Structure 1
């Protein structure tokens, strides 16, 4: 059985000013770096030793992973980047302000049908993004959901094949939320995952079990340690 610590990347420049990053990218801010340092220290305090590490190929997840491994004393483990666990692509709306995208443009689409965003499914949102994407880059729901579930499943299966016991994975807010929905459709749609939060799962013989969603306790423990050292 593999225990998975699935992390949302640290806070970035676009996160700070409320822009949708998607496949575009900005680096972690100083606050974001501090938050992931706290996370790494939280893992260290709990003596968590990772066997393998995985992230998307986005710069913000690579930066996050480096800080986690450095501060949790897990440097040197096998590390794989997988583009399948990237964030959603917002097409020509990548980099748009969240308010403009989710509060202005998307509500006018046929896919949204005048409904409030809280009542929509992930498929509805994906269809809305495709409607407004003038560049033709956005993924259909079938393509998006397949790459996410296939990416996470295959990396978990690889870890199991290597007899890994604990792995760390760094991905993105909407991608993690979508993955949770795909493995457990009865879960309420996740509205927000904090930067540096940890979603814990177990994987065995092709089956995922969800233990925690969006846990911030590791960051709190690391923050406490830093304060005590000041």
Structure 2
């Protein structure tokens, strides 16, 4: 049986607007973040996209986004949280290391500063989303998570060059996947706010 996952990045936050590193630390949604999340909810209604289950990261920016998109009851799941950037949390994005195009991420850079490595985040996201989709009643699922965590999850399923060419992961972007035999297949990205 093929199932469907709609995986959404949370709405814009104060730290996004201020260009601050935001992983495990949290900040509130901006008015733009609120308005954009509502637009996604309208898109789903207008296109008759209905969910049987919903999940969000335990971080407030994700659960607040979910509540603006749907009034479906949902579960908060720690495995969906954002990458932990350690001592870089709350600092200027200008302090981020350079992206390594050979590995397609920042690798283990943040581990030395008390954060997580890219592989650790990727494995956590793959395990968590696989467990969610394996639930017998979960056929059309809505999940709200975070940019870094979603990127690393996607990177597990499609080549880096395809991500660079075809996927824009803005705040409130929604990635649609099909799920069958424990494999996620990326279908498309829904961007209704850009």
Q: TM-score, normalised by structure 1?
A: 0.76
2:79 alignment partner in structure 1: 84
- The size of the alignment, in residue pairs, is 191
User: What per-residue deviation string (whole Å, max 9, x for no partner) do you get for residues 120-170 of structure 1?
Assistant: 4256x1312223x1xx2x123443222121111111112xx11x3311110
User: What per-residue deviation string (whole Å, max 9, x for no partner) do you get for residues 200-229 of structure 1?
Assistant: 00111211111013x214x47xxxxxxxxx
Q: TM-score, normalised by structure 2?
A: 0.90
- CA distance in 1: counterparts of 2:179 and 2:81, whole angstroms: 20
Equivalent of 2:143, from 163, 166, 169? Answer: 169
3-state SS of 1:61 partner: helix
Contact kept? 2:57, 2:80, Cα under 8 Å: yes
2:184 alignment partner in structure 1: 208
2:50 alignment partner in structure 1: 49
- CA distance in 2: counterparts of 1:145 and 1:30, whole angstroms: 30
1:179 alignment partner in structure 2: 153
Cα 1:29–1:42 change in 2 (3 A) is same
Contact kept? 2:133, 2:139, Cα under 8 Å: no
In structure 1, the gaps of 5 or more residues are: 70-74, 108-116, 221-230
1:62 alignment partner in structure 2: 63
Contact kept? 2:41, 2:68, Cα under 8 Å: yes
2:88 alignment partner in structure 1: 93
In structure 2, the gaps of 5 or more residues are: none
Q: Which has the larger radius of gyration?
A: 1
Equivalent of 1:121, from 103, 111, 115? Answer: 103
Q: CA deviation at 1:3?
A: 1.1
Q: CA deviation at 1:193?
A: 1.2
What is the Cα-based RMSD across aligned positions, in Å?
A: 1.9
Structure with bigger helix share is 1
